[in-house]
Amino acid sequence: MRSFKTDSDSTQIWQAAEKLVSPTPADREQALSFLREQGAISNSALIAYLVATRLSDPDLEIRFHMIQALGEVLSAEDDAEIIDDQILRYVQGYLAHLEETQLIKLLEVSDQYLSAEKPLVAILKLCSYAGELFGGIVNDRKIPLSLRQQAAYFSGEIGFLETIPALQNLLHRIDKTRNNPERMTGRKKAAEEDMLYYFAAAALEKMDLRFPTRKVQI
């Protein structure tokens, strides 16, 4: 992990880091842009950790940029680059304990920004307990359908095996409803469940291909 070139550079970096938690959106956006330009996120475990804590930023667009910035660093290994061990430990230590509400905020970004997919995959790979929470999100009818679809999609993309029972239960429930039309509570809900069916089935199929020794019923 490289140190910053001069004391002046270091001062500017830490001033920008402080602005990441500013109540003013423009300050947070400007600070993040500066830190990305300076390569500070990939050079400081503390700054990388601080960016990770801002993945739930109340502003959707800034949240998207936070995901992009952290994802760039975390996906370096996929591009044959080496991530500093300390950065990886700090960031993983935080991401491993994300709660459902925080994961939903990430899904809101992927639902609105297609280009968020790659960096979000890199981030979610470090979310140790996301699989179990995604299983709950997929089956929660109070959560918007598009976010449930996103949860199913990333479960298959990353290989969250903990979601398998939840995805299977979802498919079985929808099949049962299809075979018993009188059980349908409304045409709209039935149509929504049908749309979710594809995402759940596709996720299970991906996991079956990636983990052939694991029984995955589709």
**95 in the same domain as 24:** yes
**212 in the same domain as 151:** yes
Name every residue whose Cβ is closer than 8 Å to that of residue 165 and which is 6 or more positions away in sequence: 135
**190 in the same domain as 162:** yes
Residue 192, amino acid: E
**213 in the same domain as 195:** yes
Give how far Cα 66 sits from Cα of 11, 19, 28, 30, Å.
Answer: 21, 13, 10, 12
Q: What is the pLDDT tens value at each position of the chain, 218 positions in all?
A: 455 555 667 899 999 999 999 999 999 999 999 999 999 999 999 999 999 999 999 999 999 999 999 999 998 755 556 788 999 999 999 999 999 999 999 999 999 999 999 999 999 999 999 999 999 999 998 999 999 999 999 999 999 999 999 999 999 988 887 777 665 555 666 677 788 999 999 999 999 877 665 556 65
Query: Cβ distance 204 to 216 under 8 Å?
Result: yes
**119 in the same domain as 27:** yes
**139 in the same domain as 114:** no
Category of 159 on φ-ψ map: left (φ > 0), alpha (ψ -120 to 50) or beta: left
**149 in the same domain as 97:** no
Q: How many domains does the chain have?
A: 2
Tokens of 118: 């790659």
Burial of 210 (0-12, 13-18, 19+ CB in 10 A): middle
Report the pLDDT value the prediction gives residue 194, as an integer from 0 to 100: 81
**63 in the same domain as 141:** no
Report the pLDDT value the prediction gives residue 76, as an integer from 0 to 100: 76
**Boundary of a domain, candidates 104, 128, 152:** 128
Domain that holds residue 48: 1-128
The DSSP symbol for 108 reads: H
Report the pLDDT value the prediction gives residue 217, as an integer from 0 to 100: 62
**84 in the same domain as 37:** yes
Report the pLDDT value the prediction gives residue 212, as an integer from 0 to 100: 64
Give how far Cα 174 sits from Cα of 26, 60, 138, 181, 197, Å.
Answer: 45, 32, 13, 11, 7
Q: Token match 């699989």: residue?
A: 131
Give how far Cα 26 sits from Cα of 30, 34, 62, 80, 109, Å.
Answer: 6, 12, 9, 34, 19
The pLDDT tens digits of the residues spanning 8-22 come to: 678 999 999 999 999
| Rg (alpha carbons) of the chain, rounded to whole number | 20
**134 in the same domain as 111:** no
> How much is the pTM?
0.87
**Boundary of a domain, candidates 85, 103, 128:** 128
Report the pLDDT value the prediction gives residue 218, as an integer from 0 to 100: 56
Looking at 46-163, which runs of residues are DSSP E strands? none
Report the pLDDT value the prediction gives residue 187, as an integer from 0 to 100: 60
**149 in the same domain as 119:** no
Calpha distance 213→58 (Å, rounded): 42
**143 in the same domain as 107:** no
**Boundary of a domain, candidates 128, 152, 183:** 128
